[in-house]
Amino acid sequence: MSYPSIAHVPVTAPSSPRHPFDLQGRVALVTGCNTGIGAGIAVALAQAGADIVGLNRSDASQTAEQVQALGRRFVPIQADLSRTEAMGDVLAQALAAVGHVDIVVNNAGIIRRADALDFTEEDWDAVMNTNLKSLFFLSQAVARHMLDCAAQQGAQWRGGKIIHIASLLSFQGGVRVPSYTAAKSGVLGLTRLMANEWAAKGINVNAIAPGYIKTNNTEALRQDAGRADAILQRIPAGRWGQPADLGGAAVFLASSAANYVHGHTLAVDGGWLAR
């Protein structure tokens, strides 16, 4: 699929929001939005009025089509998020195309499954680099950009929003996913740390902890009939989640409605943690 060039489109000052959840004039950088949770969140943000910069390792044309069908812009950027040296170039590409980034959704992640006794260093590093290390350094790069915008715009600056995608395993131990559990526990901790440091600077940092959602990452679980049934029996809502179920939480945390929400990890889990 070919994408229209938008580098020439001038960035204009956003108008006052019509309602607290209005994201018109805002630009959201969403990682891992080619499919699954990231795609669902990107579309939801576009429905609320945001333009999307999609940062992916692979093609995101399906998400782009959905965003563009809503009348919003979609800027595709391809990069390997396991390499932190790519962060500066990624942000430079985004700024060259759209001028500013107001919202970041750190969704990109991978999972490796094996018993803790057999888990390899290679699998540990792969998950930690993608799910935690890159999340920190991309957030750092964008936070610096946001503070530059604050210095330039003064009272006109509308603030920045950073949203991490955590997990139920930010709260629980899980089984056979040691590096994933460690990384997602780290995401919860970093959410709090960044909020402590950046809240007074006008940057909201929060997280969403999805429950069991029908995505590629949960395919192995859903193919295991016994495990899938046991999971379903524990979910009070009586069903697995869909990627679109995360959209409302993302729009809320990205909007002015959440201006006084800092350092919170919001579970969207069908009631799993309440059980």
**The CATH number of the domain where 236 resides is what?**
3.40.50.720
Distances in whole angstroms, Cα of residue 204 to Cα of each of 24, 31, 58, 150: 18, 18, 29, 13
Catalytic member of 3, 180, 212, 260 = 180
Quick check: is 14 in a domain?
A: no
Quick check: is 2 in a domain?
A: no
Angle between helix axes 36-47 and 61-69 (nearest 10 degrees) is 20
Pair 143, 163: CB distance under 8 Å:
no
The DSSP element (H or E) to which 52 belongs, if any, is strand 51-56
pTM comes to: 0.92
Beta bridge partners of 203: 160
Quick check: is 47 in a domain?
A: yes
Quick check: is 272 in a domain?
A: no
Quick check: is 7 in a domain?
A: no
Quick check: is 6 in a domain?
A: no
Quick check: is 1 in a domain?
A: no
- Tokens (6 digits) for 152: 């330039």
Distances in whole angstroms, Cα of residue 199 to Cα of each of 106, 107, 142, 194: 18, 21, 15, 8
Quick check: is 69 in a domain?
A: yes
CB atoms within 10 A of CB 216: 11
Query: Is 180 one of the catalytic residues?
Result: yes
CB atoms within 10 A of CB 249: 21
Per-residue pLDDT of the chain (275 residues; tens, 9 = 90+): 333 333 333 333 444 557 899 999 999 999 999 999 999 999 999 999 999 999 999 999 999 999 999 999 999 999 988 888 888 899 999 999 999 999 999 999 999 999 999 999 999 999 999 999 999 999 999 999 999 999 999 999 999 999 999 999 999 999 999 999 999 999 999 999 999 999 999 999 999 999 999 998 888 889 889 999 999 999 999 999 999 999 999 999 999 999 999 999 999 999 999 99
Domain count, the chain: 1
* Structural domain of 49: 27-267
CA 269, CA 108: separation in Å to the nearest integer?
19
